[in-house]
Structure 1
Amino acid sequence: MTENPSRTLVLDCDPGHDDALALLLAAGHPGVEIAAITTVGGNQTLDKVTHNARAVATVAGLDGVVLAAGCDRPLVRAKVLTDPRTHGESGLDGPALPEPTVALDPRHGVDVLIEAVMSRPPHTVTLVPTGPLTNIATAVRREPAIADRVAEVVLMGGGFAKGNVTAAAEFNIYTDPEAAHVVFTAPWRVTMVGIDLTHQALATPDVVDRFRALGTTAGRFVVDMLGFFGPAYRAKQGFAAPPVHDVCAVARVLDPAVMTVRPAHVAVELRGKHTTGMTVTDFAGRDGQALDHLVATELDIARFWDLVLDAVGRLA
């Protein structure tokens, strides 16, 4: 597989099994600089997902990475109660988590995110949020100059045809729709990798076997994660194999050809009785709306899993 030129990422996450695999993909892919990892309350409470991020970074050998905890609740709404049925009481049930060796930066995650962008040349840092968008929205409101400096925001969230928490809304957007509104209306380009795309990225039994065949600590860690995540996702969502949502956003940055995207305008519904958190996606530019963002529609499944397996296989 052709390797891409150097990329600098800020990973904003709430691990979570799929966030964990996304971190491993970024850590193992050649030519990637992880400028910072920031955490946000989402799949579990902020303290739990932060511990999980530190543990996964330890598995990945990212001992020097800057890792900081960010916002623990939405901008204006009450916290959405965590549901342990998908990710477990810890947020990352299944594997034995190592004692983290990756230090927790004492600064707030939003400050770390802003510093990571502002301290580097313009258009060299890509923000990859895979949880609720509270940190990203807070950062661009606190320091609007980052909107002109980031290369792009590539987020996992939303959907152009369906939801997974409600009939209309996906979890990350539903959890903090006001933050999502800020992100989609800021003057930067967003690529939305929503559930229409991520439901194509299924960790089927043959994929699990490929991770097992790596024979590495990281490979076994992924197998143990999927050993919990698969049955949990099947019980709650009815999927025969679990979709690894967040991995798709990182994959889009590392190998854009791994998925098809279309220009679109995306608006976040804030008040609908049945549609709050919906990402209303217009591919046609109705009423003169600018097609100012990109929306992922189709995944090259074989290319995707080759990318992920290659990266995890590189981790010592």
Structure 2
Amino acid sequence: MKKIILDCDPGHDDAIAILLAAGSPDVELLGITTVAGNHTIDNVTRNALSVCAAYGIEVPVARGAAWPLVGPQVLAKEVHGETGLDGPPLPEAAFDLDERHAVDFIIDTVMAHEPGTVTLVPVGPFTNIALALRKEPRIAERVESVVVMGGSFTRGNVTPTSEFNVYADPEAAEVVFRAPWNVTMVGLDLTHQALATRELQDRVRAVGGPISEFVLGVWEWVATRFESLQQIEAPVVHDACCVAAVIDPTVFTVEKADVRVELTGTWTRGMTVANFESAPGKNHFGSATEQGDYRTDVAMTLDWPRFADLITDALQHLTRVRKGQS
């Protein structure tokens, strides 16, 4: 069973990622850490606690970074509404926050487990992960891998070149990509294949119960909100892709790349520049003699039917558990 720490900024797609992680028998969710991104740290932390309270998810939740490492704060209120998780109603939190800061929770948890057994899954800005690495560099050699939702090699969604999670704290993203551990970049090129189509929505509707209603309400909000922001054929289920990859690494294909984050470009700050190992006539960063650092797995093509199965199976499992069934 894979052990994960889900670092998130709920956020509609983060909520689906929480449910997938909690509902998969193949994943042990060690804890949830929060970071400002989709909304303020107060709101995203409350949202994480509320999702857990609503659906009986009993794991530690630790509040994390309220600001990026260097630059001004960037939030996505225009996407996620005034609460950060507008749409379907949620109850108040039913338990208290972990007393530790998210950075300390991450360090303590990684160091307490056997090396190579904990996977970090940051699906918001990477601030907590970068701070944890700076405070305790030994975690780099102890985690199994880091599966991030962020970046892109073809497009942006907050600027023409930059994806939101990286743009919100590009210095933190550069720390994470350059650290000596295994990173999988699940960017927009992959997540825009992970659509909550009518077929998937019908399958979730067939599960029935409050969890099904919540997920459908999330997707209805996203579809309505994005109709006025950009053209999409169905809600995009970004963050759950990372959890799905931990459950089943075959859910998407990857290619090795040397990924760098642009920190100084006037128009390209936060851009993830991917130099693929397989590219004909590939160019190295830096001098002509510098060897490429091709160690980031960049997600390329999604097995959508398998992804849909993982979502549906997890919701069915959570629903059975909530009803007191095995």
TM-score range, shorter-chain basis? Answer: over 0.9
Whole-Å separation in 2 of the counterparts to 1:209 and 1:220:
11
Q: Which residue of 2 aligns with 1:73?
A: 67
Per-residue deviation, residues 37-73 of structure 1 (Å, max 9, x unmatched): 100000000000001001111233122x111100001
Partner residue of 1:158 out of 151, 163, 183: 151
Any residues of structure 2 matched to 1:232-271 within 5 Å, and which? 232-271=225-264
Shift of 1:290: 2.2
Any residues of structure 2 matched to 1:149-298 within 5 Å, and which? 149-284=142-277, 286-287=283-284, 288-298=291-301
Whole-Å separation in 2 of the counterparts to 1:268 and 1:115:
28
Aligned to 1:237, what secondary structure does the other structure show?
Answer: coil
Whole-Å separation in 2 of the counterparts to 1:125 and 1:59:
26
Aligned to 1:241, what secondary structure does the other structure show?
Answer: coil
Whole-Å separation in 1 of the counterparts to 2:137 and 2:302:
33
2:312 matched to 1:302? no
Q: Which residue of 1 aligns with 2:105?
A: 112
Whole-Å separation in 1 of the counterparts to 2:228 and 2:78:
8
Q: Which residue of 2 aligns with 1:47?
A: 42
Whole-Å separation in 1 of the counterparts to 2:110 and 2:230:
37
Aligned to 2:307, what secondary structure does the other structure show?
Answer: helix
Whole-Å separation in 1 of the counterparts to 2:268 and 2:69:
19
Summarize the Cα distance change of 1:102–1:309 in structure 2 as closer, same or farther, 3 Å threshold. farther
Shift of 1:99: 1.8
Shift of 1:102: 3.4
Shift of 1:219: 0.9
Whole-Å separation in 2 of the counterparts to 1:116 and 1:154:
17
2:13 matched to 1:25? no
Whole-Å separation in 2 of the counterparts to 1:102 and 1:261:
39
Shift of 1:205: 2.3
Whole-Å separation in 2 of the counterparts to 1:7 and 1:252:
11
For this pair of structures, how many residues does the alignment match? 309
Per-residue deviation, residues 72-113 of structure 1 (Å, max 9, x unmatched): 010011111x33331111111111101221321121111001
Contact 2:26-2:247 within 8 A present in 1 as well? no
Please identify runs of 4+ aligned residues in structure 1 that moved more than 4 A: none
2:6 matched to 1:11? yes
2:128 matched to 1:128? no
Q: Which residue of 1 aligns with 2:288?
A: none
Whole-Å separation in 1 of the counterparts to 2:131 and 2:76:
25
- Identify unmatched segments of 5+ residues in structure 2: 285-290
TM-score (norm 1): 0.96
Whole-Å separation in 2 of the counterparts to 1:311 and 1:32:
10
Contact 1:198-1:244 within 8 A present in 2 as well? yes
Per-residue deviation, residues 106-141 of structure 1 (Å, max 9, x unmatched): 211110011110000000000000000000000000
Aligned to 1:236, what secondary structure does the other structure show?
Answer: coil
Whole-Å separation in 2 of the counterparts to 1:84 and 1:105:
26
Shift of 1:286: 3.0
| Pairwise CA RMSD | 1.0
Q: Which residue of 2 aligns with 1:83?
A: 76
Whole-Å separation in 2 of the counterparts to 1:234 and 1:245:
17
Larger radius of gyration: 2
Q: Which amino acid aligns with 2:270?
A: G
Q: Which residue of 1 aligns with 2:287?
A: none
Q: Which amino acid aligns with 2:300?
A: T
Contact 1:192-1:295 within 8 A present in 2 as well? yes
Shift of 1:215: 0.9
Shift of 1:24: 0.2
TM-score (norm 2): 0.93
Whole-Å separation in 2 of the counterparts to 1:74 and 1:83:
14
Whole-Å separation in 2 of the counterparts to 1:187 and 1:10:
19
Q: Which residue of 2 aligns with 1:3?
A: none
Whole-Å separation in 2 of the counterparts to 1:54 and 1:95:
15
Shift of 1:179: 0.3
